[in-house]
Amino acid sequence: MGIIEVKTKIRHRSDLEVALEKLAENLKMIRPSMHRNGRRFSGFFSYEPPSFDTNNVLPTLQSVVNGERKKIINCISLGKNFFVRYWPFAPGSPGIENYTKWHSYNLQNKAPAYFIHNVIDHLCPQWASENVNVWYPEDGKENYKISDIFLYLPHQID
């Protein structure tokens, strides 16, 4: 159903880049055809916060994925506060296609919970949507967005 790479701590940006590259390459193996079932969850989880500036996470992620659909990483949680989510559609507007952005968030003590919810939502979306109040605070996470970055995808489907 997917892959989650788990680390205790990422000390350097280069360590994150190596770990994300490994994850992205492994994703290519479990996503053999985007035509049949491209919905395979992919995530990166680090228990402790990074020792580097998180402003570099989105550009690193964009570089690692390099426009390949099969290498899209859905979620990243670094420590208790920093969270990244890939949005194929604009948040709150599932009909707007080709949004293809990652958003990063500063979620005080909530990043691991958001990560776990996204895993469950990916595996069992109906259950997760029926129980949304269990997972999300009323004000949602978009109020805590730090930045976003586009994933530039080629027009053809791989």
Q: Could you report the per-residue pLDDT of 31-85, keeping only the tens digit for each?
A: 765 444 457 889 999 999 998 999 999 999 999 999 998 899 999 999 999 999 9
pTM of the model: 0.82
pLDDT of residue 155 exceeding 60: no
Note whether 62 and 102 are within 8 A (CB).
Answer: yes
Question: What are 100-137's pLDDT values in tens digits?
Answer: 899 999 998 999 999 998 898 888 777 666 666 665 55
Q: CA geometry: angle at 43 spanning 17 and 25, to 5°?
A: 55
The alpha carbon of 40 is separated from its chain's Cα centroid by a whole number of angstroms, namely: 12
pLDDT of residue 109: 92
127/144 Cα distance (integer angstroms): 25
Rounded distance between C-alpha atoms, residue 47 and residue 8, angstroms: 5
Q: How confident is the model at residue 28 (pLDDT cuts 50, 70, 90)?
A: confident
* Least confident segment among 4-13, 82-91, 126-135: 126-135
Residues 118, 124: Cα–Cα separation, whole Å? 10
More confident residue, 92 or 74: 74
Q: Dihedral sign, CA of 68, 42, 89, 142?
A: negative
Structure-token pair, residue 75: 């979620």
